[in-house]
Structure 1
Amino acid sequence: MNNKAVILGSNYYIGLSIIRCLGENGVYTVAVDYSKKETYGAKSKYLNEQLIAPHYKENPEGLLKFLIDFAKDEQLKPVLYPGADQYVEFMDAYLDRLSEYYLIPMTEQGLWTKVMNKESLHELAVKHGVLVPETTRPTDKDFYERMEKEIKYPCIVKPTDSASFVAKFRKKIFLVNNKEELDKALSLSKDAKLDVIVQRIIPGFDDHMYTFDAHMNQESEVTHWMTCHKLRQYPINFGASVYTEQKYVQELYDIGAPFFKAIKYKGFGEIEFKKDAETKKYYLIEINTRTTNLNSLLYKAGINFPYVAYRDMIGDPLEPKAVKEDTGLAFRYLQEDLLAIRGYIKKNQLTTGSVIKSLSRKKAPAIWSLNDPKPAFNYFGIVVGKVFRKLFR
């Protein structure tokens, strides 16, 4: 295995998890960042090189040239991994040129962007018979009529481009309870030049969220898969996983695998579902196109998705595998889980007793690893530094 693995972004635990999953299997790993600041993932003992390149947004052409120049010096094509949604967007924009020099599972330029975009994903789901929350757009002629009769309040104002929305508002959605709040949310989005849609909220608490994590080969067949069950997220109610257990749910495969096949998806993908508390049906919420936040859990539960992709790309695929049992493992992002717990208890959505009971599961930490502790110590130093500066600002 002489093909190097190039990971875009080591300043978040997703990049760190990719580095560990590959490095533990003897793959030569290279992290590409736009700055060394807060790149705690690069402190992993499994990283061989860290390179500083132009910023993906400020100078995308410069980053493209940097990556091409790097690959030209290699005898074998490196395998390229995005460590964040912004890098997925960059890779999709230049997929035709990058594919000349890198091994990338996705071959259809634009498909990543299409499934990341909430509006076009909604259209794909409807086309292929997958349930999605009822949705309307501010530009629809019957917008307010549909709001009253179909969507109703409370509802969510959701961006079509999540990364840009989160960067602007530091939240994933606007929760609105009436027409006045709706108009304010739409106005804020319009002022920020961000497109949004409005969706019905599927009944059910945060523990009604599930994921279907899978790798599709070059024929878009699922070769490896696992399902997970969210227990807590942050921000609470509409946020990212901070405490999630691996849990086998066959129905998620039965919905997700045919959908991935139908849209000709390749490589890793994670579908987030919400189970309707009233009808018990699963609704597609979104798709993550890069290695997921839960990667440390997926790995400990039995499937090393970054390595699966690596072996697939170099033409030496691993044997298919599915985890069809409950392992008792849970992913935990400690810092944000503590914030989530505080929020749930404050709003009387969880009790202290139920939280304590949930912590009995074996953990798959987001950052900490006894075999590779330096990233966690470095991350702790970063957090302490931020707190110190905030206190004495």
Structure 2
Amino acid sequence: MENKAVVLGANYYIGLSTIRCLGMHDVHVAAVDYAWEGSYGLESKYCSETLIGPHYKEDPEGLVTFLINYAKQQTSTPVLIPTADPYVEFVDAYLPELREYFLIPQTEQGLYTKVMDKGTLHTLASEHGVAVPETVEVDDEDFVQKVDEIIQYPCLVKPVDSPAFVAKFRRKLFQVSNQEELLEKVQQAKDADIEVIVQRIIPGFDDHMYTFDAYLNQEAKVTHWVTCQKLRQFPINYGASVYTQQKYVPELYDLGAKFLEGIGYKGFAEIEFKKDAETGRYYLIEINVRITNLNHLLYKTGINIPYITYRDLTGDPLEPKAIQEDKNMVFWYAYEDLLAVREYIKTGQLSPKKVIGSYFRPKAHAIWDPKDPKPAIAFGKKMAGLVVDKVTKKS
């Protein structure tokens, strides 16, 4: 295949999974990160090239120049695939320049950012008839009164820009139980110069979280899709998927495809929904506009998103496909799932018996692959190093 694939991000399993999904189809993969240390995805046998470039935040202009210089050396236009939110924001910020030298699904600058931004996303969703949790802006003069009347406690203080919030607080949001906590957490966010909103908690355990994962072609039409159900996440209750099953839920296609096509979206997106335990209504929670945590599960069930993207952009699209049955397959990120299980049991949300019973199913592992073991070994060394550092500091 003449066109190379440039994968941005190799220090997390999403990048690793993307590299594997392309490399196994003999696509030349150039994996890019800003440091060798911790970038275990660069150890994959499916990497044709490993490149260390400037940091996306510390030197974005340098990274643009680095990537364009690489593309200029190629005989065919490379496909550019970001695998983490900061890389998506980077690509969106420099989309016109990068599109001159790379094949990128999105053509409208700002749409990625608009969809990642909780405020503008909720406006878009409401305009297209998709339910979102009741929300109050903290800049409103009477926002505390509105929270009391519209949302009530407990409620959530959520970031408008998730990557910045997670980088600062190492969590996706704050849950608050009263007015005092609300004001404290809102002030913490303001002190960090991070915009937040206040949102109602949709009732239901973590298994009421669902995803609609879809690819939209250059006509902004859904060509491939699959739906999943979260079973456990970390941090618990408001975190990322660590144990998730593929589950056919046709209603999510009706909601998700209509919305994404309606806003003219192109490329891959994952919409997270929560099903209200009391009403059964699905609420849009957020959208991931890069390759997802569940990528290996999607691949194992028959939807190879990175390769679908590659083929579509290089002018040889794959046949449309949807997974319209239950495959009894689960995604498992063992390291964080074990941390999550401890918390679920400690808080009485799950029993040991239920947890143990859940493990006897075919799995799509986040990192481990017997055909490509080096990344898992590198990840193990990384974790061992962190443990040694903690023990050393304590002593």
C-alpha distance in 1 between matches for 2:100 and 2:390: 46
Alignment of 1:197-236 (within 5 A): 197-236=197-236
How far the C-alpha of 1:129 sits from its partner, in A, is 0.7
How far the C-alpha of 1:275 sits from its partner, in A, is 0.2
How far the C-alpha of 1:145 sits from its partner, in A, is 2.1
Within the alignment, does 1:72 sit opposite 2:77 as a pair?
no
RMSD across aligned positions (CA):
0.6
- Residue 131 of structure 1 aligns to a residue in which SS? coil
Correspondence for 1:125: 125
C-alpha distance in 2 between matches for 1:346 and 1:302: 36
Within the alignment, does 1:106 sit opposite 2:72 as a pair?
no
How far the C-alpha of 1:301 sits from its partner, in A, is 0.8
Correspondence for 1:365: 365
Correspondence for 2:246: 246
Correspondence for 1:257: 257
Correspondence for 1:381: 381
C-alpha distance in 1 between matches for 2:141 and 2:189: 19
Alignment of 1:72-221 (within 5 A): 72-221=72-221
C-alpha distance in 1 between matches for 2:32 and 2:384: 25
How far the C-alpha of 1:83 sits from its partner, in A, is 1.4
Alignment of 1:48-63 (within 5 A): 48-63=48-63
- Residue 36 of structure 1 aligns to a residue in which SS? coil
- Residue 104 of structure 1 aligns to a residue in which SS? coil
C-alpha distance in 1 between matches for 2:48 and 2:135: 46
How far the C-alpha of 1:344 sits from its partner, in A, is 0.2
C-alpha distance in 2 between matches for 1:278 and 1:220: 34
TM-score by length of 1: 0.99
C-alpha distance in 1 between matches for 2:294 and 2:269: 12
Correspondence for 1:311: 311
How far the C-alpha of 1:392 sits from its partner, in A, is 1.3
C-alpha distance in 1 between matches for 2:173 and 2:286: 13
- Residue 312 of structure 1 aligns to a residue in which SS? helix
C-alpha distance in 1 between matches for 2:122 and 2:152: 19
Letter aligned with residue 31 of structure 1: A
C-alpha distance in 2 between matches for 1:250 and 1:389: 48
Q: Which runs of 5+ in 2 are unaligned?
A: none
C-alpha distance in 1 between matches for 2:336 and 2:79: 31
- Residue 278 of structure 2 aligns to a residue in which SS? coil
CA deviations 1:241-295 (Å, max 9, x no partner) are: 0000000000000000010011000000000000000000100000000000000
Q: Which runs of 5+ in 1 are unaligned?
A: none
- Residue 341 of structure 1 aligns to a residue in which SS? helix
Correspondence for 1:343: 343
Within the alignment, does 1:46 sit opposite 2:41 as a pair?
no
- Residue 157 of structure 2 aligns to a residue in which SS? strand
How far the C-alpha of 1:141 sits from its partner, in A, is 3.0
CA deviations 1:148-202 (Å, max 9, x no partner) are: 1111000000000000000000010010000000000011001000000000000
- Residue 283 of structure 2 aligns to a residue in which SS? strand
Alignment of 1:318-329 (within 5 A): 318-329=318-329
C-alpha distance in 2 between matches for 1:202 and 1:386: 36
Alignment of 1:263-278 (within 5 A): 263-278=263-278
- Residue 148 of structure 1 aligns to a residue in which SS? helix
Correspondence for 1:288: 288
Letter aligned with residue 187 of structure 2: S
Letter aligned with residue 334 of structure 1: A
Letter aligned with residue 200 of structure 1: R
Q: Which shifted more, 142-151 or 316-325?
A: 142-151
How far the C-alpha of 1:97 sits from its partner, in A, is 0.5
C-alpha distance in 1 between matches for 2:360 and 2:33: 37
C-alpha distance in 1 between matches for 2:139 and 2:126: 19
CA deviations 1:201-253 (Å, max 9, x no partner) are: 00001010000000000111000000000000000001000000000000000
Identical pairs, percent: 63
C-alpha distance in 2 between matches for 1:185 and 1:392: 33
CA deviations 1:119-164 (Å, max 9, x no partner) are: 1101000111100000001111331221111110000000000000
How far the C-alpha of 1:330 sits from its partner, in A, is 0.3
C-alpha distance in 1 between matches for 2:376 and 2:346: 29
Correspondence for 2:300: 300
C-alpha distance in 1 between matches for 2:39 and 2:297: 21
- Residue 211 of structure 1 aligns to a residue in which SS? strand
Instruction: Spell out structure 1 runs of 4+ moving beyond 2 A.
Output: none
- Residue 392 of structure 1 aligns to a residue in which SS? helix
